[in-house]
Amino acid sequence: MSNAVLARLRAVFALPNDDPRKTLAVAVALCLACSVVVSATAVTLRPLQERNAALELKREVVKVAGLDDPGVSLSQAFEQIEPRLVDLETGELLADADASTYSYRDAAQDPDQSKALAQDPAGIRRRPDRMPVYLVRNDGALATIVLPVYGQGLWSTMHGLLALAPDGRTVKGLTFYEQRETAGLGSEVASPKWLGQWAGKTVIGPDGKPVIEVVKGSVDPKAPNAERKVDGLSGATLTSNGVENLMDFWLGEQGYGGFLARLGELGR
């Protein structure tokens, strides 16, 4: 800072306290100081926030895969899971990619790692070229496939995990671990009661296309194709539609469709 600038600052702060120029200068100085503190705090805390987010994701993957056990640590439980990256264009698992350090959220913001969507039922605008998948094996045989899914609800982008049986068609579990939908209405998308009805549902038809429906009201278990339907969220039609739309997208050709069609290559 030059001597001339310092001299001007001293002159301003030497003014009487009731002088508007001094009041403005003090306000600007306080704003700048607060901005520096906030920025420094954000930079300092970011690595910790990223570690916490990674741990929370691991916890959710373990839970939806049915591997959570009070007597087993998170790290031990996650050792039973094989994180991989899948090329969504080909449906192939990538042998030379590290899924543990990959962020599909960052990739979606990078034009070199994603593509703009002409057809975008999930409301995500850009789709990463690669997505992580989590494989669980039992004595070498594929037991569970966990797929990250996300899409637009009423107020927020809902991030979840869908666990499928080895057939790639039947749901074993579902969780939405990040959402900001209307409290008491759309936020029920994360409630254990609503999520519990997904187990055993069929999400992919014999032709390999998504078939799951989130219906208005309750599903009649005796109705035709009841195994393909789940109850809608009461008072939250747009959130319910968002769930159905993101399922259609991620289980379809633009999402994991190609990968699910190749499950036989994984040794099930």
Domain boundaries, the chain: 1-79, 82-266
Taking all residues of the chain, what is their mean pLDDT, rounded to a whole number? 89
Position 16, amino acid? P
Helix (H) or strand (E) holding 236: none
Strands 213-215, 229-231: pairing kind: parallel
Going from the C-alpha of 19 to that of each of 24, 82, 139, 143, 248, the distances in angstroms are 9, 67, 79, 74, 64
Two tokens, residue 58: 């691991």
Is pLDDT at 153 greater than 90 in this prediction?
yes
Cα angle 45, 46, 49 (rounded to 5 degrees) comes to: 85
CA distance 133 to 113: 17
Of 30, 14, 34, 31, which Cα lies nearest the Cα of 22? Answer: 14
Could you give the percent of the chain with pLDDT greater than 70?
82
Tell me which residue has tokens 């669980």. 136
**pLDDT tens digits for range 29-47:** 677 767 666 666 656 645 5
Could you give the percent of the chain with pLDDT greater than 90?
74
CA distance 93 to 130: 9
* Confidence category of residue 268, pLDDT binned at 50, 70, 90: very low
- Range in 27-36, 88-97, 226-235 with the lowest mean pLDDT: 27-36
Hey, how many other C-beta atoms are within 10 angstroms of the C-beta on 3? 7
CA distance 70 to 63: 11
Q: Would you give the DSSP letter of residue 41?
A: H
CA distance 130 to 108: 9
**pLDDT tens digits for range 40-91:** 665 664 554 556 778 899 999 999 999 999 999 999 999 999 999 999 999 9
Q: In 165-214, which residue ranges form alpha helices assigned H by DSSP?
A: 192-196
CA distance 125 to 119: 9
Helix pair angle (3-13, 20-64), 10° resolution: 100
